[in-house]
Structure 1
């Protein structure tokens, strides 16, 4: 992210935008939000929003107009004369994202935008990012809150020690031969224990999860279950991002 914004020089490789090398003019149109807030705690909110707008080429009048509009839509109307440090952590995060939006960015680059936020602020941020994506503004963000990544992202990259381990796939399907399935049905399910093609990983009344040891065993289990009682659910268990993260870090 810092290399893409020109804050660090690349040791190797390159960063491109829309098929061409990134230039300073390109970076000027990006909206960037660092993990450590790049704002001034003892400066009035309205003053620094106008300042950041002017940095991106807006006139003082236009920057002020946009700042007022964003503060109102972000629930901070009437607080532009307050010092940043007087706001809660969640509201400081809202001001930080306004600085990334005020100039109408072509792309948003956000480093841990959900860090330290309460649930209400997380919902607000999630809604805002979805809206920007629907407007056609690509959103690149990093996060260790994998449930949010799973909920929001169309694509992901997972890095381990600087190397890409997972790329461009948020719905990670296990190998079919080692897939895990969930069966829910009425009646006794102890008969599953005698099936050599599966390994039961979790069992509770009315529900069993099992891993496939022999290809095709899942269809045999389903057929046997239908013969023995009413099947209420049968599905493959998808690997969560948390499970994938743990697996790639072993």
Structure 2
């Protein structure tokens, strides 16, 4: 039996002379939260639209459960576009029931689902309001309800956290975790890399229509340099200069951030810091996703 996963295999898309996607390949496994990150115009939305059938690829294939995605498959995808995809003058409740029925859900079941999701997402009191009368944050909540209301087998979300306050971000994060726990593959794009780092099982970094790095945060960090944070308030400026294999990244208010080359001796750094006075903090860390993203994109730009 094939794994119930979404596979994006070798997608290529051109707009005239511009290559929007070039051999875009990755998979989103059952029960996995997959973060899809990249700069504006990197190809994230184009990929998602091809998965949904809104755009046709020039080459490559999208598969679900080992078979090519069909119109019937797409009825079971919950999609949240980055731009507002709702009818602005239609009432929230009527619209969500209508969208659920478009996906094949019976009327009574659709109404129950709408009640459940609007309550969960904090917009149950707005069922009789037109979408255009809602705040941008509440429109985003309704947009997510539209992606969830038909009980999808796959979730594809383009910038779902955009415009949300911290409480709404927490609610949406919990919803996505729960859907993944039910075995639903969840792929979403976001520019909020700290949130992606906390939430996702795996992350794909996209540049110029290509997947340039993919893996868990730990796997992506494995090839990155080690950094040291040293808090030594009494240390004189430049105390770490000249240490073998050590580069000073920043130094201010008694805190110094250092980058260690392979084989550099962190204990030599500690001795140098102690020679300058008391050390209040000495910690190794790997690069954050934001730092990894900058490094990968910058490296690719230089290589290009």
Task: Note if contact 2:140-2:163 (Cα within 8 Å) is conserved in structure 1.
Answer: no
Distance 1:179 1:28, change over 3 A: same
* Deviation larger for 36-45 or 14-23: 14-23
How far apart in 2 are the matches of 1:118 and 1:231?
38
Matched residue, 1:242: 290
Is residue 124 of structure 2 the alignment partner of residue 77 of structure 1? yes
Deviation digits for residues 85-129 of structure 1 (CA, Å, limit 9, x no counterpart): 111111111111111111111111001112222333323322222
Distance 1:205 1:83, change over 3 A: closer
Matched residue, 2:172: 125
How far apart in 2 are the matches of 1:73 and 1:196?
56
SS at match of 2:61: coil
Specify every segment of 5 or more residues in structure 2 that has no aligned partner in the other structure, as ranges: 1-47
Is residue 118 of structure 2 the alignment partner of residue 87 of structure 1? no
Task: Give the number of the structure whose residues are more often strand, by fraction.
Answer: 2
How far apart in 2 are the matches of 1:7 and 1:43?
23
How far apart in 1 are the matches of 2:266 and 2:292?
23
Matched residue, 1:50: 97
Q: TM-score, normalised by structure 2?
A: 0.72
Matched residue, 1:101: 148
How far apart in 1 are the matches of 2:233 and 2:68?
60
* Deviation larger for 232-241 or 65-74: 232-241
How far apart in 2 are the matches of 1:226 and 1:200?
17
Q: Mark the structure with the bigger radius of gyration.
A: 1
How far the C-alpha of 1:19 sits from its partner, in A, is 2.7
How far apart in 1 are the matches of 2:155 and 2:292?
26
Is residue 213 of structure 2 the alignment partner of residue 136 of structure 1? no
SS at match of 2:248: strand
The CA RMSD over aligned residues, in Å, is 2.6
Structure 2 counterparts to residues 115-194 of structure 1, below 5 A: 115-171=162-218, 172-173=220-221, 175=223, 178-184=225-231, 188=235, 192-194=240-242
Within the candidate set 30, 38, 41, 2:88 is matched to 41
Q: TM-score, normalised by structure 1?
A: 0.86
Distance 1:223 1:16, change over 3 A: farther
Specify every segment of 5 or more residues in structure 1 that has no aligned partner in the other structure, as ranges: none
Is residue 249 of structure 2 the alignment partner of residue 201 of structure 1? yes
Task: Note if contact 1:179-1:236 (Cα within 8 Å) is conserved in structure 2.
Answer: yes
* Deviation larger for 159-168 or 192-201: 192-201
Matched residue, 2:74: 27
Is residue 54 of structure 2 the alignment partner of residue 14 of structure 1? no
- Structure possessing the higher relative contact order (Cα contacts under 8 Å, 6 or more residues apart): 2
